[in-house]
Structure 1
Amino acid sequence: MEGRSNHGINPELVLAYKFPESSSRYTERDAALYALGVGACGRDAVDANELKYVYHSNGQQFIKVLPTFAALFILDCLPKLSSLPGMEFDPRLLLHGQQYIEIYKPLPAHSCIRNKARIAGLHDKGKAAIVEIETTSYADGSEEPLCMNRTTIYLRGAGGFSKSSPPYSFASYSGHQTPSLKIPKTQPFASYEDTTRPSQALLYRLSGDYNPLHSDPT
């Protein structure tokens, strides 16, 4: 495999790395806090369609969990990136670029989650590098996956590590999982506008995403 780096990234070492299995526990409170952080009941505190994500609405035994709550399961892996063998970059220049999620069954209202992560992609974009981490999550005591996250991390200033042309690019997943969408030229059949509350990012970060982007005005 080509691509030994003079710029802090060695593809051979990065792709060979094996993340240790990790686990985390969440409660109904965590699921409800996340729902509020992404805007549930933001316009109407008693919205019947959204109250179920933050309250035992209509006598339901457990609150419902938004499918995108699964994106939080990858947060344990991100701090480990800067210590990966063959991976050197400025963590201040890290951006969360894209999130792909597959949900295999409804997320429980509370659970202990086991996460198995691996490097699924690495791409040299010239002035930046892209790293893709694939995380499969399981409820404690089960070998059936709950969900899979593929997280795209954009590392500004970390590109230029290729020793070949075209630039280095590797992905372990099939292309049909990330289809390209064609935007129709016709007028939309319907439109919807929404707004975020001024303090919403401050509330969202309490779910564990402490990127300064959500809180630091500088």
Structure 2
Amino acid sequence: MPLDPTAVGTTSEPRTSSWHSKDALLYALGVGAGTTDPTGFELEFTTENTNGVTQKALPTMCVVLGGGLAGPDSPLAKIGTYNPALLVHGEQGFTLHKPLPVAATVSSVSRVAGIYDKGKAALVVLETEATDTADDQPLFTTSSSLFIRGEGGWGGDRGPAGPEKVPERAADHVVTYHTRPDQALLYRLNGDRNPLHSDPSFAAAGGFDTPILHGLCTYGFTGRALLHTLCDSDPTRFGAMHGRFSSPVLPGETLDVHIWEQADGPARFQTRVGDRVVLDAGTVTVS
């Protein structure tokens, strides 16, 4: 079998990476801030020199920081051989250990947290811990679950059960955001230059009529809805978020973020395009 389950626990060497005010502004625009906010232009996230406004970073920006998981030194390069065309992003989560600054330098270490046998596919879980070099304190932890079709069936551990489904009752809040037809072209400037999101011929080879939106772009739109609805737009109250990708989004489609508040435990969310669920089984922790 091409994958190597003994790669669990493999870690990368520490990687240093930085971001600046401009990066935070570009990320915010890439996930729709300003143009899709029905109450204003989210100037605290989209400008750095507005009178009386202090620039802030969107909490979900941490998923594009920390040096990434690609490259020959990444733990992903140590799990064995597989066809990258059969790899899909299954789930994404993060925890903020303190509010995300608009500019910082971090030292990040990634590891293979698990490789599970799902029968017809393998599930690889990668985690990254980022430490703020300014004070040597943890800044954020991210977790990505990757499904690799055709790489299961070796008789290994199937892994933990999936997250609980969202409540069956009507949502307490529904936030609607319209994505732009060129949303993927803007979002890709945050670092993910996969031609699936920009090249019509490449998308066609993957079975799509047109380039699709990055899953993490949908994730960022959803995070904005959660921030404004549950945290009164205050990023310092946003603690953690996790969701499962279930269907691709096309640039220009409308996202409806359904949010359920709960007396005990984290709030739940689900993002839909019409009746199609695109981000499922979501949880968010706020203070």
Q: Please state which band the TM-score falls in when normalised by the shorter chain.
A: 0.7 to 0.9
Q: How many residues get paired?
A: 198
The answer for the alignment partner of 2:167 in structure 1 is: 183
For residues 65-102 of structure 1, the C-alpha deviation after alignment (integer angstroms, 9 at most, x for no partner) is 00000001255223435531x41111222222111110
Task: Name the structure where strand makes up a greater proportion of residues.
Answer: 2
Q: Is the 8 A contact 2:37 2:177 kept in 1?
A: no
Q: 1:151 to 1:208 in 2, by over 3 A?
A: same
Does 1:111 find its partner at 2:107? no
The answer for the alignment partner of 1:168 in structure 2 is: 157
Unmatched tracts of structure 2, length 5 or more: 205-287
Q: Is the 8 A contact 1:74 1:149 kept in 2?
A: no
Q: Distance in 1 between matches of 2:195 and 2:183?
A: 14
Describe the SS at the equivalent of 1:152.
Answer: strand
The answer for the alignment partner of 1:193 in structure 2 is: 176
User: What amino acid is aligned across from residue 194 of structure 1 in structure 2?
Assistant: Y
Q: Distance in 2 between matches of 1:142 and 1:169?
A: 39
The answer for the alignment partner of 2:254 in structure 1 is: none
The answer for the alignment partner of 1:95 in structure 2 is: 88
Unmatched tracts of structure 1, length 5 or more: 1-6
User: By how many angstroms is 1:206 displaced?
Assistant: 0.6
Percent sequence identity is: 35
Moved over 6 A (4+): none
Over the residues paired in the alignment, what is the CA RMSD in angstroms? 2.4
Q: Distance in 2 between matches of 1:32 and 1:44?
A: 15
Matches within 5 A, 1:48-197: 48=41, 50-56=42-48, 57-61=50-54, 63-73=55-65, 76-79=68-71, 80=74, 83-84=77-78, 86-160=79-153, 162=154, 164=155, 167-170=156-159, 180-184=164-168, 186-197=169-180
Q: 1:124 to 1:74 in 2, by over 3 A?
A: farther
Q: Is the 8 A contact 1:82 1:88 kept in 2?
A: no
Per the normalisation by structure 1, the TM-score is: 0.80
Q: 1:97 to 1:74 in 2, by over 3 A?
A: farther
User: By how many angstroms is 1:169 displaced?
Assistant: 3.5
Does 1:11 find its partner at 2:9? no
Describe the SS at the equivalent of 1:168.
Answer: coil
